[in-house]
Structure 1
């Protein structure tokens, strides 16, 4: 996982001998790759727990008499790279993981629960190109969160009906609600050719433009600032810091871009903000991608204590809210669906989808899932559980923040914590864990193989079929079990050997019904024996999968024997 907020020695990451399952970890240009180094490590930040929660979902596991919780790939080796979010850090983290996996001769799954929406949404940047090269080289499977901006007004798209038609919006910066010191308006515009852009100063109280600056119609860099000799008096009256507008032609891609960025920008009047007016030729299309904390609005109600109310600008769409990095890479892009609707914290206070701000029901796609069809490609690829997911949280974070938690376990002089979170950040590691399970069954699988299997075996239930924005669900809900069956079936068809201890899966499908799968078998006989050894039930079915019922059988422990032409397996079940 490439992230921030690691606690590699959390109980959820310890093996049966009490040692961390983290085998490789980097932070602050330091490498920790021995059991002693990792055992002595604490955390990269007491202000964050994101990575600990994410890794718990992907591969954590904890079992005791009083509490048990399991991630997906519970036997996988774990690795982490602590970063602050810069592209160069991300690339270095990926590079280190690839080198370590190659050294260990093991397949690699990288989880990336991070991203930003502002940008070209293609593979023109260095980070996207690097990720795609890693995937093309078959060096890693990469699972990436689609983003949590599916209900935010951060994308505008317009085709001009005439030369006087306008694309316009005012910028509501909500960075302070995300813990930033400065407002940092950021918007990226993209079109097939140059257009006219005018920065405006907008008074939300009077609903009027205070000043409209001269239009920018081609490649340039323009600063609007409150300092230096060239400070603009109107700008300086309402703002501090700098707004920079840069525009240029991307010749090798065949499009024109314009970007609004800022440096130490602050509004002096809560009712006054910056905005823009864009015009173009008749038939010309322009799309604007803002970052996750720059809302494109028509008007808003300022508030110092709560999230401001606003009216979204005209031409705002949720189609395109998928993160810039996700849109530019070949990674497996993961959205979230609502897998738990309610529960309780350790203080007995309740949580629910509603308390998390979620508007869709249990089983439906999480409304916050970012999505879009960009350059003909629809994303996300797949949806995984991501709302109200319980996992580990950093002990150091909990001590610093003292937030509500679902479970605390005292062990060896220290209390470890778990809690629930929501986001595509939680869905992506679920998919990462599934990818690791499938790779355990067949280490030759590539990123493209796993993406294909996930899509072909996805669950398409009534929620998937009837959701408001079908693209938001991708191919449907990830099905780890049937995907693994697909992997094993195709492995045996290709005459590849399957380890004897990994060729059978068994699950309970109802109160009295079970399903068994044995790779490569053409028929399976099921025999049930009571504890005296007497045969009490027998059935036979064609194929590698069989189902059977224990309805009507007396309570007790039974031995189940699964016999095929090549293999046989024995397990025990309890009839209650």
Structure 2
């Protein structure tokens, strides 16, 4: 067993210091870790190993929600705080860790939240959503490619000089890029770098040491391709030749050379990005950068859509967290598309309404990696590893009792309870197995010590914003191999409350989920409730995933696919998160193709020898001017979200005045509801399958009846599109009915048609060959030819 030394993890915590704290529970735990001088055990998803990292920073970022009209002025007057930006009554600041408690207690501060780590969550896509029709202008007044629109992204693993993000003459399509990273050596604990096109950098009036040229940027992270992949889906525009693999029958592969089939959606949009470490404060700053660029980079505000393929499962899952309020404020100035999350393949949520004689719910904390687990690249074997955090929220201020319990399968009963029964005002109660996990002031429960190695910490308070009682559980445990080698002693969770009251429990979805092991009296968790907490913000569009490809050809000449029909084409993706919220909302709003999508890859990732990318994992590559480019398939709501964001970029070209409420309404109205949708979970599907083409037509339809903008003349042009042999589709923006008359060249009436709405189908199968004039609602006649 690998040893973790934690003697000061929770030492020196004084309950009264947090009795009136405006810090949320997770921030309070984080503050303890920041103040600790000893290593804290964590699992590093990037290196896929366990680490003991001793925090040695002096400064931290924070988000502060204001509590008075003059709060910003008072905050900026405080010399111990550096204000980075303010939006929607929320400031992003840096401060000394030693000042966090004092600043949080100021009267002008409503809440203070410390950094929270979030997780990163095309040829078939373009055809399925009608993007190809939009790019060609079929049935539309023109082609749309995102011209004049800012498409922004906050992510990691960005390669901005990838061919996908250059103009045909090799110039960058990026207008601005910020890189925000932790840096212990920096005065404020972080490094903020600004990147501009060289032509703009040379003209920068107050250039300093943190201003650079985008053309000289490599990548913020060579160990992930995520940012390059999602940006490529949303706006990749490379149309040149590449070598690529394809399969027609999902059995045999062909290696071809030709026009890149994997380009993106808003192919001529202007790109802006923020990258670096993915903490919520950094993400908020990145969003602020993108919005400011769209507002300030020209005399007229540019329409803007932002993609966030990021999220966290911990939080109240409503719109009240500081981050979610900041997202809501940004959503009033840009269209924000947010990934629903990829946790629905595990039951990581649990909701219960207590009743008379039914005043508790109990479940097991089942490890994701059951049995022996050795992290890739590691040597230590863990047995039924359970680590991470989970949080329980009461429906109101009513206290709930939360216990981590030890259950014996042999004796069929609970043999130990580790819990809290009343409000600890944020002070954690810690249970430890001792030995390697000896923690000052911790309770060494004999049964816990006998059957498990590790610790369990619980703390509670009333959230100052929602007024909901909440209990946070943090744990790191493995089965003791002397007394619990067969895993017959299991960790569970027991929550009790008053009749009529509600509890919502969420796991961080990393290493444990809620399961009953088919043991009577215990309950399974739910997939409904797995929606990302960030995706629950107001003024954002939340996107889930459905399957569009389950096999793909690779450059090694083979066809690969998922096992056991895990991702049947057309159905909602098993992993696509969803949830019915406490306020009654169902999310996501809609689903888009997310499994699997082929897009561009961070070249520095693909060429990183530690990653080991081969032709077996690549679907395309090219070499231009000595630089190699790569394309790779991936899946997730991270991939579905930029599909929608890029499409909205096309909509914004057609109508730059669109607001988030307009977009959500159009998405819901035009989504496809087919047999797959009807057979699935209605909450997981949202409105159904996103339809970019139908959505754009609805945008044009609404604009045709509005007083904003002049896409059409006073008398809109009728759009006539061939619809098969001697048939045509007619579309007239803004029309409530269609009165169609067809004349021969001599002026005789050949055919007439009346149709409610603004679309009509015209069948000319009985007409003779020749030239005909079609007139709709007294518009000028248009000519069609029947061959």
TM-score range for the pair, normalised by the shorter chain length:
0.7 to 0.9
Residue among 644, 664, 670 paired with 1:431: 644
Residue among 385, 398, 423 paired with 2:606: 398
Native 8 Å contact 2:670 2:694 kept in 1:
yes
Aligned pair 1:367/2:574, yes or no?
yes
Paired position in structure 1 for 2:159: 7
Deviation at 1:331, TM superposition (A): 0.9
Native 8 Å contact 2:402 2:496 kept in 1:
yes
State the Cα deviation string for residues 305-354 of structure 1 (Å, max 9, x = none): xxxxx9996141111111111123331011111122322111122233x3
Paired position in structure 1 for 2:107: none
Deviation at 1:61, TM superposition (A): 2.0
Q: For structure 2, list consecutive stretches of 5 or more residues without a partner in the other structure.
A: 1-152, 181-191, 200-212, 242-257, 379-384, 744-749
Native 8 Å contact 1:153 1:312 kept in 2:
no
Q: For 2:784 and 2:283, how far apart are their aligned partners in 1?
A: 45
Paired position in structure 1 for 2:12: none
Paired position in structure 1 for 2:553: 344
Native 8 Å contact 1:382 1:478 kept in 2:
yes
Paired position in structure 1 for 2:175: 23
State the Cα deviation string for residues 160-183 of structure 1 (Å, max 9, x = none): 344565322232344878979996
Native 8 Å contact 2:530 2:578 kept in 1:
yes
Paired position in structure 1 for 2:515: 297
Native 8 Å contact 1:173 1:185 kept in 2:
no
Pair 14,157 (structure 1): closer, same or farther in 2 beyond 3 Å: same
Residue among 520, 526, 531 paired with 1:322: 531
Paired position in structure 2 for 1:465: 678
Native 8 Å contact 2:360 2:494 kept in 1:
yes
Residue among 480, 499, 504 paired with 1:282: 499
Deviation at 1:526, TM superposition (A): 10
Q: For 1:178 and 1:155, how far apart are their aligned partners in 2?
A: 25
Deviation at 1:516, TM superposition (A): 6.6
State the Cα deviation string for residues 347-386 of structure 1 (Å, max 9, x = none): 122233x34x763521121121111111200111011111
Pair 118,267 (structure 1): closer, same or farther in 2 beyond 3 Å: farther
State the Cα deviation string for residues 386-417 of structure 1 (Å, max 9, x = none): 11111111111112221501111122112211
Which range moves more in the overlay, 483-492 or 159-168?
159-168
Q: For 1:508 and 1:128, how far apart are their aligned partners in 2?
A: 47
Q: For structure 1, list consecutive stretches of 5 or more residues without a partner in the other structure.
A: 301-309, 528-537, 553-558
Residue among 277, 280, 284 paired with 1:84: 277
Paired position in structure 2 for 1:440: 653
Native 8 Å contact 1:457 1:483 kept in 2:
yes
State the Cα deviation string for residues 246-271 of structure 1 (Å, max 9, x = none): 11123652421111124x76665573
Native 8 Å contact 1:171 1:185 kept in 2:
no
Pair 567,13 (structure 1): closer, same or farther in 2 beyond 3 Å: farther
Native 8 Å contact 1:358 1:367 kept in 2:
no
Pair 476,8 (structure 1): closer, same or farther in 2 beyond 3 Å: same
State the Cα deviation string for residues 260-308 of structure 1 (Å, max 9, x = none): 124x7666557366432222233433221111222123449xxxxxxxx
Native 8 Å contact 1:524 1:544 kept in 2:
no
Residue pairs, 1:147-546, within 5 angstroms:
147-162=341-356, 165-174=359-368, 184-191=387-394, 192=396, 193-202=398-407, 209=414, 211-213=416-418, 215-220=420-425, 221-225=428-432, 226-233=437-444, 234=446, 235=448, 242-250=455-463, 252-262=465-475, 269=481, 271=487, 274-293=491-510, 294-299=512-517, 314-352=523-561, 354-355=562-563, 359-374=566-581, 375-400=583-608, 401=611, 402-403=613-614, 404-467=617-680, 469-499=681-711, 517=731, 519=733, 545=759
Secondary structure, aligned partner of 1:321 = coil
Paired position in structure 2 for 1:41: 217
Q: Which is greater in Rg? A: 2
Aligned pair 1:73/2:266, yes or no?
yes
Aligned length: 546
Secondary structure, aligned partner of 1:418 = strand
Pair 496,298 (structure 1): closer, same or farther in 2 beyond 3 Å: closer
Q: For 2:557 and 2:353, how far apart are their aligned partners in 1?
A: 53
Q: For 1:311 and 1:539, how far apart are their aligned partners in 2?
A: 72
Pair 267,566 (structure 1): closer, same or farther in 2 beyond 3 Å: farther
Deviation at 1:81, TM superposition (A): 1.1
Deviation at 1:455, TM superposition (A): 0.6
Which range moves more in the overlay, 231-240 or 372-381?
231-240
Q: For 1:424 and 1:380, how far apart are their aligned partners in 2?
A: 10
Q: For 2:635 and 2:422, how far apart are their aligned partners in 1?
A: 42
Native 8 Å contact 2:545 2:593 kept in 1:
yes
Aligned pair 1:144/2:330, yes or no?
no
Pair 177,434 (structure 1): closer, same or farther in 2 beyond 3 Å: farther
Secondary structure, aligned partner of 1:409 = strand
Q: For 2:530 and 2:167, how far apart are their aligned partners in 1?
A: 40
State the Cα deviation string for residues 105-124 of structure 1 (Å, max 9, x = none): 21111111111222211222
Pair 347,112 (structure 1): closer, same or farther in 2 beyond 3 Å: same
Pair 346,568 (structure 1): closer, same or farther in 2 beyond 3 Å: farther
Pair 411,568 (structure 1): closer, same or farther in 2 beyond 3 Å: farther
Q: For 1:506 and 1:177, how far apart are their aligned partners in 2?
A: 62
State the Cα deviation string for residues 425-475 of structure 1 (Å, max 9, x = none): 1111111111111111111111111111111111111211222x1111101
Task: Note the aligned Cα RMSD (angstroms).
Answer: 3.9
Q: For 1:571 and 1:46, how far apart are their aligned partners in 2?
A: 56
